[in-house]
Amino acid sequence: MVSKTLNGDQAIAYGALASGIKLVTSYPGSPSSGTVETIIDLAQKHEIYVEWSGNEKIAMEMGIGASIAGRRALVCVKSVGMNVMVDPLMVLNLTPVNGGLVILLGDDPGAYGSQNDQDTRPLVSMLEIPMLEPADPAEAYLMTQEAFNISERYRTAVIIRITRSFTQQLESVPMADAPYRASNLGLVRETLRFVPVPRNAVEKHRNLHNKIKSLGQWADWLAYNRISGSGIKGVVGAGFAYRKLLDVISGKPAEGFRLLKLSCLYPLPENLIVGFLKDCKEILVLEENEPYVETHIKAMAHDHGCETRVFGKQSNHVNREGELFRWQIKEALSRFIPDIDLAPGYRPEDAAQELPPHDNKCAACNYGDILDILEAAAESLNQKPVIIGDPGCLATLAERLDAKYAIGSAVGVADGMSKVGVGQRAVAIFGDSSFFHTSLPAICNAVYNRSNIVMVVIDNGAAVTSGFQPTPGVGLDALGRAAPMLNIAEISRACGVKQVHTVGPNDLDTALGPLFKNVLRRRELALIVVKTVCNRID
């Protein structure tokens, strides 16, 4: 055995490496990109295929293909990226996988790098795919290997959920000192195994439910779920919230209360939880960020006739929105167990220590200059266009946008406004990464339905906000090797856009203003590619 000091991202990467993965796919997004970046540094040495996919749906489908071929695959996404993957996932659950298939899901409670404060855990009840959440990096290293083994044993994809604060946790992780060895179960060609159709969908769904029952029995005995301590009051720590709880109680064993550590979040270990409930009069549930575990525990208590009172987010004992901070856990514990001995510190005024650092890296961004030129051109024509943006760099200028939703949505939202006669020209502004992600179908739709919106693609040659990962328009792949360079303007023309213009970074002051005037004056569909150099300083 050897030990390395790793953060949560790195621990999962090394766990995947120890599992013999052959393929890693992702669309850039934090948290989860850190795991991919770690594997990229090791990929060529071990001949592991890694790619930044065009979007999360493609990344998932790549992983499914690798699994059918008998290889182990890791697909890494963040919360909102999981939404994009739901379509293939809702049939993947019906088709028994071959090679181990693990999905690393990065939730972002607190919305530090996301457009929402989404908790993705409730989604797994619909997906019916097992979900695990590690409490610390050392557990994550082992849990990742367990997830691949369980995936192949039960022939199901497995989700590992992490959060931003988990990825920043550093600790010494004992690791097996063994050479990398790729797993290969071989291609499976079994009639209708990977082909759900109307005539077998219900039977496959019934088989899935039987599988979930078996997984529930497995969860009851899973070592990552365990009970410690004694007393009539109980505390449940789910996933990384358990580690935060340990910090608040100084890492000591539970004294004067029972402690249930939960790391299998779907299916929940029902027998273990019911036994815990029957030993307690009251329990407090600590989790991030919706009352997912709390709600399910209440349902179990009802079904099994337990009179145990369950407190948590729904009872306002714990804050429901945003990240669950250690000071909030301390306050909740102090109210729930008044005489409990807790660690010093962890006060509300210390909350800034748990927040991600804010810097000035984007102070010189020229996105604002581009909006200035657009607005000046519109004003000269007595126009005040509605401006719809996409997530990404434009989020720093949120106050200047009329709307911003999911990645790839700017074109569709702008087109919808124009179709109902909003009274002003609708302008969709999005980046090159968004263009390749999911904007293309909306562009085709706009062409087919004779839209007259203005589309502005700000091409800075990378997925900047998530870490400068390359896009298909850069000419480099995930490992930095030469790759075909896709041309945004040419693709737009091929989609049927008649007015396509390109402005280089040295022509913003002279050419962009007249171009904006031209397209705003004409009531036709237009697309402008603004090539710009990112001034972000790392």
Instruction: Tell me the C-alpha distance between 494 and 482, whole Å.
Output: 24
DSSP 250-295: TTPPP-SSEEEEE-EEES--HHHHHHHHHT-SEEEEE-SSSSHHHH
- Cβ-Cβ contacts under 8 Å for 363 (sequence gap 6 or more): none
Query: Helix H segments across 313-427?
Result: 326-336, 367-380, 410-419
pLDDT digit string (tens) for 166-206? 999 999 999 988 889 999 999 999 999 999 999 999 999 99
pLDDT class of 351 with cuts at 50, 70, 90: low
Assess whether pLDDT exceeds 70 at residue 96.
Answer: yes
Instruction: Tell me the C-alpha distance between 16 and 160, whole Å.
Output: 12
pLDDT class of 375 with cuts at 50, 70, 90: very high
What integer pLDDT is reported at residue 354 of this predicted model? 61
**Mean pLDDT for the stretch of residues 329-358:** 80
Q: Across the chain, what does the average pLDDT equal?
A: 91
In this predicted structure, which of 57-71, 166-180, 252-266, 465-479 has the lowest mean pLDDT? 465-479
For 351, which DSSP code?
A: G
Instruction: Tell me the C-alpha distance between 15 and 370, whole Å.
Output: 44
Q: Which of 359, 357, 391 is nearest to 466 (CA)?
A: 391
Residue 473 near residue 502, CB atoms below 8 Å:
no
Instruction: Tell me the C-alpha distance between 459 and 432, whole Å.
Output: 5
Q: Token match 């509300």: residue?
A: 348
Residue 532 near residue 366, CB atoms below 8 Å:
yes
What integer pLDDT is reported at residue 223 of this predicted model? 95
Residue 131 phi, psi dihedral angles, 5° rounding: -130, 130
Assess whether pLDDT exceeds 60 at residue 278.
Answer: yes
Burial class (CB in 10 A: 0-12, 13-18, 19+), 276: buried
Q: Token match 């939202």: residue?
A: 413
What integer pLDDT is reported at residue 355 of this predicted model? 63
Assess whether pLDDT exceeds 50 at residue 9.
Answer: yes
Instruction: Tell me the C-alpha distance between 53 and 282, whole Å.
Output: 47
All domains of the chain in start order, with CATH: 2-221 (3.40.50.970), 226-354 (3.40.50.920), 367-531 (3.40.50.970)
Q: Which of 538, 502, 529, 530 is nearest to 366 (CA)?
A: 530
Q: Token match 């969908």: residue?
A: 201
pLDDT class of 434 with cuts at 50, 70, 90: very high
**Mean pLDDT for the stretch of residues 418-443:** 92
**Mean pLDDT for the stretch of residues 97-123:** 90
Q: Which of 120, 23, 105, 80 is nearest to 437 (CA)?
A: 80
- pTM of the entire structure? 0.91
